[in-house]
Amino acid sequence: MKRLLRFGVFPRFARLPTAVLLAALTFALCFLWIERLPLFEWDESRHAVNAWEMMWSKDFFNYTFAGEPDRWNAKPQFLVWLIVAGYEIFGARELAVRWPSAVASCVTAFVMYRWLRLWFSREAAVLGVVSALTMRGVVGYHVGRTGDMDALFVAFVMLALFLLQKAMNALQDPKKPEPTRFGRGAQALFVASGFALGFAFLAKGFAIGLVLPGFACLLFIRPQPHGSPLRQPRWSGVLSFLMAAAVCPLLWIVAQATQGFVHQETVFGARSQLGTMIVYDVLQRVRGGVDGAPGGFDGGYLFRQLDVLASPWGYLFFLGLALLLASPRFRGSLRGRFRPGEPLYVAVCMLLPSALLLMLMRHKLPWYMAPLLPFVALATVTFVVESWKLWPRWTCGVVIPLALFALGRQILTVSKVSDASTRTWFQVHAQKLKDAQSVKVLTPLRQDEYAYLSWARRGVKLEALSTENKDAPHIEDVKRRPLLMTCTPSITLQGELLNGAACVVTRVLK
């Protein structure tokens, strides 16, 4: 038992079972019971409809919703392309919408494990992966288990940072008195890291600005390592990284300029998808005014979101910070960990500027914290490893029960079943909707309702939906009433004779 608790190396016979168990745990938390919950309203349902209509229209550069140009969703189409592939493989179901996020969460876990293994033992690396996978802000709503863009964004950011650190390490070998010669291996790593960062832009657009200050710190601020001369990265490597990172955004901008819709005016006042993304995702979020939210500087935002999205590991993170301030022994032990490339150094470079940006933004939502939470896990693992050296019994007494509690709670969370009445209603009426010669919708629909209606019957027009409700996802009281469908052999509707079977979708009046 003592040997299992050491942050050393497992015996050889235990290595394969450890890797298999970790892979099975990652797969279970990301994929198991992924279809128990119906589509969520707002972004996930919007992406589901965008992808469904894109698959049938074959227009892969423009979003549509209810058959009309979508003047609300303006982010790059990478996630929607993957959902289209999911429809082709799995059919019209929740798995087709959510598989990109689940795979991205697995990639994030794999990158974290490989990164931690460069500096720590196998046990510490497993602890880091478990801590990330049991955070609600990494595997949970709007991130790893729903059809949203955040999980892809986090995966590409983590991959870009991992490759960048390996490239920097290839240029700085402390065993040699002279700087390492710039070689093909480091050059390829710089280029690969840049492309990964470019794909992060394709995953969530200008949200990449949240992590760019951290990348700048890692590239241009290199503290003096103890006992070795300072070796700055070669400018040719940095230039290769920047050029590779710019490829995907530039190609997307050119594609939108040549193939994208030009609107009279979008919901946010722009005429193009790029203009809408600049106004909505940058200007309004920095200055406020998104969805009527007043916003403002919020110094406690980071602490509240860590309490909600990273618990219980957020508490361990704060405990490590408290020990850092209160214990000279702990502070002295961590000093050796604050070196370029080490997890603690990278976590500090990424967390400080990004947290400051989030607190300064006037409009922010909980899942904006998603790209920062893996770095909270990296810092927490470093705190645990160093505290183990000083207080092994206390560390085990705190960390092991905490890990078991977090893992058990996450399993219960991903296995729960919520209200699926909307999905059930459309499943019950799916055959009638499919066989009907015409379908009329005489009530505003929520986006999740329209997603299930689209899966059951392609090309249904929302007759009673105003332009504002069709393009912007506003909730009205009437949308909360139960749906009602009437099917007749022949009816007259608004002066139009509908011969053959016709279905009319309305709501139960209060």
- Contacts of residue 329, Cβ cutoff 8 Å, sequence gap at least 6: 390
Q: What pLDDT, on a 0 to 100 scale, did the predictor assign at position 233?
A: 56
Determine the Cα–Cα distance for residues 175 and 183; give it in Å rounded to an integer: 17
Name the one residue in this structure whose structure tokens are 């994030």: 108
Distance CA 63, CA 50 (A): 6
**Spatial CA neighbour of 148 closest among 55, 87, 80:** 80
Residue 34's pLDDT is what?
93
Q: How far apart are CA 442 and CA 323, in angstroms?
A: 62
Residue in 331, 158, 433 with CA at minimum distance from that of residue 441: 433
Number of C-beta neighbours around residue 180 at 10 A: 16
Structure tokens at 23: 């892979």
Closest CA to 124 of 318, 389, 326: 389
Residue 462: its pLDDT value, please?
A: 64
Record the tokens describing residue 327, joined without a space: 């214990």
How many Å apart are CA 134 and CA 474, to the nearest integer? 32
Q: What is the pLDDT of residue 132?
A: 95
Q: Is 343 helix (H, G, I), strand (E, B) or coil?
A: helix
The DSSP bridge partners found for residue 244 are none
Residue 6's pLDDT is: 45
The pLDDT of residue 231 is: 47
Range 296-317 burial, b when 16+ CB lie within 10 A, else e = eeeeebbeebbeebbbbbbebb
Each of the 510 residues of the chain gets a pLDDT tens digit; together they read 344 444 443 344 445 577 788 899 999 999 999 998 899 988 999 999 999 999 999 999 899 888 888 888 889 999 999 999 999 999 999 999 999 999 999 999 999 999 999 889 888 999 999 999 999 999 988 899 999 999 999 999 999 999 998 888 777 654 443 333 444 578 889 999 999 999 999 999 999 999 999 999 888 876 554 444 434 556 788 899 999 999 999 999 999 888 888 877 666 777 778 888 888 878 877 776 555 454 566 667 888 888 889 989 999 999 999 999 999 999 888 888 888 778 899 999 999 999 888 888 877 888 889 999 999 999 999 999 999 999 999 999 999 999 999 999 999 988 887 767 788 888 888 888 887 777 878 777 888 888 998 998 877 766 544 334 444 434 445 556 677 777 765 444 443 434 445 677 777 655
For residue 288, the model assigns a pLDDT of 66
Among 35, 64, 33, 37, CA closest to 454: 64
Residue 61 gets which letter from DSSP?
T
Which residues neighbour 210 within 8 Å (Cβ) at sequence distance 6 or greater? Answer: 354, 357, 358, 368, 371
The identity of residue 495, as a single letter, is G
